[in-house]
Chains A and B, each alone.
Chain A
Amino acid sequence: MKTALSRHHFWSLTITGTIGFFAFWYLARALHFSPPQFLPMPHEVLFKLIDLMDKPFAGATLPEHMAASLKRFGMGFGLAVLVGVPLGLSMGWFRLLDDVITPVFDGIRFIAPVAWVPFAALWFGTGIGGPTLIIFAGAFPPCLINAYRGARNVEVRFLEAASMLGVGSFKTITEVLFPAAVPSIIAGLRIGAGLGWLSLVGAELIVASSGMGNLIVRAQSALATDTVMVGMIAIGAIGVVIDILIRRLEKLLLRHRNA
């Protein structure tokens, strides 16, 4: 392992890398690598982004599509957290629950979340219920697994102290297991939010009539490659923002520690 680069050296290489990336992009056009319609240039994508802020595409402007997606995401992810975290903690405490749920969970874990799309559409329609189920299918497993692992890794002396003080099951879960499992739960929420957001895009690509996924798939059928790229960038950016918000939440929850 080489020693760390000097600051100057690091930044010069980073800037070279960034310029190289965009230069490669422009070069692809200059060499007629593909027709311009299929490979818009970075500045064209930027102009399109500004354009879409107030000009509707596929029935809504970019912020409206974002709002539609975020609403679905909030419902599906919220549901996954509200069910997954308490269930995972309880599985870490009640052995019978663990033994009952683990085999069922292992059985359906390998089914890709997007494979639920047909049933989701059949049961809950394509408006908000169907996509919510898909997001739930994506975000639920990490929430559950991490809460469970966090609860299983609680130091035994805490549990012993709690039982010595005569604390009941419910209070043990909420006041001993939950605080101890917070770092693991937050890690699970981050993974779950990523997978949930991914699944949402998948669901919207296939069934929904609004939202970011729908925006890019409609742009694809209209061969509007610049709009596709705007959508991809916006989807990526929202994913990053969600991740940052969850890390903020972690700081908030762990505020009392090391204080």
Chain B
Amino acid sequence: MIIHTNRFKLNQIAIVTLSVVFGFCWVKEIKSAEKDPFSHLGSVSCASASCHNQNLGKGIPFSEYTTYTGFDPHHKAYDSLFNPRSDRMMKNLYATGAGSAATHQLCLNCHSPSQGESSHKTTGFSVFEGVGCESCHGAGSGYIAVHFTPKFLELSSEEKEKQFGLTNTKDLVSNNKMCADCHIGNTKKGMIVNHDLIAAGHPRLNFEFSGYLAQYPKHWKIEKELKRQPDLNAKAWAIGQIDGSRVALQLLQDRAELAGKKNHPWPEFTEFDCFSCHKDLRIDSRKYQSGYGGKPGALPWGGWFNGNTLKIALEDKNAKAFPSEVSLQMNQFGQSPGKVVESCKIAIQQLEQAAKELDNSPFWGKPQLESLAQKLIESGKINEAKYSWDEFTQIYLGLAAIHNSWSDLDPSGVPPEFTKDMVRLKDLLKNVFPNQFDSPKLFEDRFSTKKTIVQTKETFSSVFSSLRIK
């Protein structure tokens, strides 16, 4: 239990720092209408009292639906379209008469993802269910009648998906992909949160797979999963980095291809570091003191998905998969769409390969975890002067995943200093968001020990120089 509590605390930063969070969506890739032979039956089909709604308690087998309705915010994804924020977003985005977000296809694409498949719905399906069972597990008509039979249970995950439409949830790449459609974006499915939407009021998307996974109110037994894959948490981080970057690059490629078309602004500002622009101006910024890497005042691309943590996750053997060329193109004004598309294509292929390799690689043990942690800490130390809040948070999330895996492998073996340092780092990253703020307003103050404002508070330098894992 201690581990779980700890884990929750460590990872909640991914969400809590953005003071208001809604819009959890978790969908399976919807196959294009003509190819998908299966129909959506609606969550009610899973929720019978004798099946997945036995009401035994959180996370207990056969209480999956119980757990989901009781604890999982996806359950409320559709409801959120009726809240005041959604109303305001509609007003900001469209002139009066635009109607409710709950009837707007762009919103429904994530907030009730099965809605788009009208030809494949049965009477049981309802738009009200938001992100329901089939949004992630696949349309149920193919497997509902057989998925409990011994013969079905003998099949491989791939076969279950291919023949019966039950989505493979047993490998991390598939899992990440499942979340990423909504939480990062998928142009082909109309699942897009661009800067227009965020300015109108939508929370920013900063998905990090391992953190979300650790936080997720699970309707399955984590112990069973860990037995199957002991390094689950750390691998989820590395795969999340690599495959997350791939999805983000696919989104970028699509955006570049559509650049300038209606509703496809270019440059698309969500591609860039939010807090580079969105900060109150000050005369003593770190950039002013330490200088800019590139052209001063340029939009810095990809702090969240394509920073140094991706480099670390790729390790030396896959270093070439890092999207350096995309970075080069995106970091210069003009952001030539043609060149961005070309460079994305190459990087996507390599990242896809790297993620698969990693998913099939042998389980990590403590030495690998230690080495990764060292690299993350080192990166934070070296780049302390130029890292953004995003980059520090990514390092923190990586370390948190490693910390979790370490305690999975050896519950009493985690150095207590490491745990303590992680809590300090988490607090530091969280506490730079004052009440009511969605941006790290106090971030810059936490670098200089000279300023009176931080005299009694901790700075990033102090935490990074004291991070101890041995």
Say whether A associates with B.
no
- Chain B residues with a Cβ under 8 A of chain A: none
- Chain A residues with a Cβ under 8 A of chain B: none
